[in-house]
């Protein structure tokens, strides 16, 4: 193939020719929408750092789900935002079988029985110090102690009817601890979607505002994967697969396309990519300043994430699919 006989521009001359050849954008069924729930009823609090996203009380979440579910949303991932007085050193409230997340799961499954409901399993929103597990005397997260609490938390979510649980604490052995706890209680069908490859990213800022879950001191680099060490990322994923994860996850998404593509080569498990709060806020802020067109930037970035080889895209764009992503011919 050589110029001047071959001219690649022929195949992109018109919109109709391009449409014939382009990969389709991922459909709404490939998206999981992360949702934040707060106690009470009739409450919706906008998240300032994430325009278009709110914290909802369970009843208001049901309302907010109507349109996206009708339009084909693939699923949701539930995050609880407990009141400050429910936080303690161990994050005990996370495992309450009648807590906010189990209540929400029951309400959503009742209203939308077909909608896949996943729950985030972590302790950082429930510990007073904001770390993802209880601390030992040295001030480090007590790995095995965290695993026990994470397993109890996952069990409370499974018992409430979650289709899947998604542990995000990055503790060693958390997948095995959860799988054993679920199986022993008879929840052998509950899917385990592991945040297998979660990096210690600077792009979680807006989420930590939404969840009020920033660590009070220190950071999470002692347990989340190092962004500059991809080989550890492969090991993390392989361990979770061996421990019984059903779905592996890379997080963040658009900054880690090489990791998604590499993992796609290394495993036959389904993959999810978490398009995180900072990736969302970055595009919102650019558009707000008039430096880019939001819909075009969103389409290009979700296309890139899909192209890297993920099956599921966990993204805050999910509830805005019709507004920003769906193509009209």
Summarize as ranges the residues that interact with ligand PBG (CB under 6 A).
Answer: 120, 122, 124, 132, 168, 204, 207-208, 220, 276-277
Distance in Å, CB of 279 to ligand PBG, minimum: 8
The dihedrals phi and psi of 79, each to the nearest 5 degrees, come to -115, 130
User: What is the rounded end-to-end Cα distance, in angstroms, of the chain?
Assistant: 33
CB of 114 or CB of 226, closer to ligand PBG: 226
Q: Is 87 a catalytic site residue?
A: no
- Residue 322, strand partner residues: none
- In this structure, are residues 249 and 274 in contact, taking their beta carbons and an 8 Å threshold? yes
Q: Is 198 a catalytic site residue?
A: yes
- In this structure, are residues 125 and 80 in contact, taking their beta carbons and an 8 Å threshold? yes
Distance in Å, CB of 108 to ligand PBG, minimum: 19
CB of 57 or CB of 213, closer to ligand PBG: 213
Active-site hit among 63, 70, 87, 198: 198
CB contact set of 239 (below 8 Å; sequence gap of 6+): 172, 175, 196
Distance in Å, CB of 113 to ligand PBG, minimum: 26
Residue with tokens 């991809």: 230
User: Left, alpha or beta for 139 (phi > 0: left; psi -120 to 50: alpha)?
Assistant: left
CB of 185 or CB of 214, closer to ligand PBG: 214
Distance in Å, CB of 170 to ligand PBG, minimum: 8
CB of 220 or CB of 320, closer to ligand PBG: 220
Q: Point out the residue whose Cβ comes nearest to ligand PBG.
A: 207
Active-site hit among 63, 70, 110, 251: 251
CB of 46 or CB of 184, closer to ligand PBG: 46
Distance in Å, CB of 315 to ligand PBG, minimum: 9
110/240 Cα distance (integer angstroms)? 31
- The Cβ of residue 152 has, within 10 Å, a number of other Cβ atoms equal to 18
144/293 Cα distance (integer angstroms)? 47
Active site residues: 198, 251
């Amino acid at each position: 193939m050589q110029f001047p006989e071959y001219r690649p521009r022929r195949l992109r001359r018109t919109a109709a020719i391009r449409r014939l050849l382009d990969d389709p954008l991922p459909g709404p069924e490939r998206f999981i929408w992360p949702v934040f729930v707060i106690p009470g009823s009739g409450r919706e609090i906008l998240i300032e750092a994430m325009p278009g996203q709110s914290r909802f009380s369970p009843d208001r979440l049901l309302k907010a789900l109507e349109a996206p579910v009708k339009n084909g949303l693939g699923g949701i991932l539930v995050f609880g935002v407990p009141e400050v007085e429910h936080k303690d050193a161990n994050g005990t409230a996370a495992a309450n079988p009648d807590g906010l997340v189990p209540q929400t799961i029951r309400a959503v499954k009742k209203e939308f029985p077909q909608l896949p409901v996943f729950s985030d399993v972590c302790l950082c929103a429930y510990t007073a110090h904001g770390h993802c597990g209880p601390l030992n005397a040295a001030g480090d997260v007590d790995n095995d102690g965290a695993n026990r609490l994470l397993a109890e938390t996952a069990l409370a979510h499974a018992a409430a009817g979650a289709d899947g649980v998604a542990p995000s604490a990055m503790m060693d052995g958390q997948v095995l601890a959860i799988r054993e706890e679920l199986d022993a209680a008879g929840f052998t069908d509950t899917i385990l979607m592991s945040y297998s490859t979660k990096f210690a990213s600077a792009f979680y800022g807006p989420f930590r505002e939404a969840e009020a879950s920033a660590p009070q001191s220190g950071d999470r680099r002692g347990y989340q994967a190092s962004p500059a060490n991809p080989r550890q990322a492969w090991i993390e994923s392989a361990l979770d697969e061996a421990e019984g994860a059903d779905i592996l996850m890379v997080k963040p998404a658009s900054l880690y396309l090489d990791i998604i593509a590499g993992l796609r080569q290394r495993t036959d498990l389904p993959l999810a990519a978490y398009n995180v709060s900072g990736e969302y806020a970055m595009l919102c802020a650019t558009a707000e300043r008039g430096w880019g067109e939001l819909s075009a930037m969103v389409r290009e970035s979700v296309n890139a994430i899909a192209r890297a080889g993920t099956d599921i895209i966990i993204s805050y764009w999910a509830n805005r699919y019709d507004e920003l992503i769906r193509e009209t011919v």
